[in-house]
């Protein structure tokens, strides 16, 4: 049985190592997970051909998540509400779409978001999933900030949030700031190190060897932190369970991505 991740580019993806470690751990020796580099104009026709080539399902990443939802025969309420899919499953001649980013995020949070305030930085694909997750979790106020303000306003209208960069109990970085240049973190994001202290949970979707500057500062200030790698593992585990019907071996998956990070 074959699995994979469709993206463009996809060379950087850690999903194959993570999923192949999980498949080996589960003893699914005939299953393989591979990278599927697909430019946008080939996405839909290639995905439709995958079941005949022995594929059970695929993860979908930038820039195909919206196209994945559009081509599916049916989709979960979560994928429809987010407006994007990261998991496709091929079953009985049909394509099913799901989005495990939201549940992956809530699983990784290790604290209830209910009645807390939350600030989401960014208005791209990952911000949509996180805003949906926080809305579902019952936060008392959902704030969104983005460099391009019109995009923040559009998402705020859609998810019942306000456009604001006011510090909050839960702060989630859904921008790519900090990925390549850690020194940009406190220059390009509207937050101060002093806002990230005890009682605050700080999540960075971005992951880097040794942790991001945002998380390292927050941790030093006494905040709870959630690394993007944890969310990668949690969303991957949910996808794997959908395809195999087996409980995902989280620890083996975590070790596989940590090995690459080292």
Q: Interface with ligand NDP by CB under 6 A: which residues?
A: 62, 122-127, 146-148, 151, 174-177, 179, 188, 205-207, 228, 231-232, 235
Closer by beta carbon to ligand NDP, 81 or else 177: 177
Pick 211 or 228: Cβ nearer ligand NDP:
228
CB of 181 to ligand NDP, least distance (A): 9
| SS3 track for the chain | CEEEEEECCCCCCCHHHHHHHHHHHCCCCCCEEEEEECCHHHHHHHHHHCHHHCEEEEEECCCCHHHHHHHCCEECHHHHHHCCCCEEEEECCEEEEECCHHHHHHHHHCCCCCCCEEEEECCCHHHHHHHHHHHHCCCCEEEEECCCHHHHHHHHHHHCCEECCCCCCEEEECCCCCCCCHHHHHHHCCCCHHHCCCCCEEEECCCCCCCCHHHHHHHHCCCEEEEHHHHHHHHHHHHHHHHHCCCCCHHHHHHHHHHHHC
Minimum distance, C-beta of residue 165 to ligand NDP, in the bound complex (Å): 11
Q: Is 65 a catalytic residue?
A: yes
Which candidate in 35, 65, 116, 219 is catalytic?
Answer: 65
Q: Which is nearer to ligand NDP, 3 or 123 (CB)?
A: 123
The least distance separating ligand NDP from the CB of residue 128, rounded to whole angstroms, comes to 8
Shortest CB 205 distance to ligand NDP, Å = 4
For ligand NDP, which is the closer residue by CB, 196 or 237? 237
Residues carrying an active site annotation: 65
């Amino acid at each position: 049985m074959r699995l994979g991740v469709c993206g463009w580019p996809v060379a950087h993806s850690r999903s194959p190592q993570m999923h192949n470690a999980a498949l080996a751990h589960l003893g699914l020796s005939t299953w393989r997970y591979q990278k599927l580099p697909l430019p946008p104009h080939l996405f839909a026709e290639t995905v439709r051909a995958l079941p005949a080539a022995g594929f059970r399902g695929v993860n979908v990443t930038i820039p195909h998540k919206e196209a994945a939802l559009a081509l599916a025969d049916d989709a979960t309420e979560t994928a429809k509400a987010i407006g994007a899919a990261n998991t496709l499953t091929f079953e009985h001649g049909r394509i099913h779409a799901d989005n495990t980013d939201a549940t992956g995020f809530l699983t990784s949070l290790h604290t209830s978001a209910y009645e807390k305030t939350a600030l989401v930085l960014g208005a791209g694909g990952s911000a949509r999933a996180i805003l949906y997750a926080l809305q579902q979790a019952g936060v008392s106020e959902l704030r969104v900030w983005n460099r391009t303000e019109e995009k923040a306003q559009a998402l705020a209208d859609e998810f019942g949030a306000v456009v604001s960069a006011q510090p909050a109990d839960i702060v989630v970085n859904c921008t790519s700031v900090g990925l390549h240049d850690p020194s940009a973190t406190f220059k390009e994001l509207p937050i101060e190190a002093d806002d990230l202290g005890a009682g605050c949970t700080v999540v960075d979707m971005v992951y880097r060897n040794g942790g991001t500057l945002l998380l390292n500062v927050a941790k030093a200030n006494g905040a709870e932190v959630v690394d993007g790698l944890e969310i990668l593992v949690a969303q991957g585990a949910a996808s794997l369970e959908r395809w195999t019907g087996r409980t995902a071996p989280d620890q083996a998956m975590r070790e596989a991505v940590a090995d690459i990070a080292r």
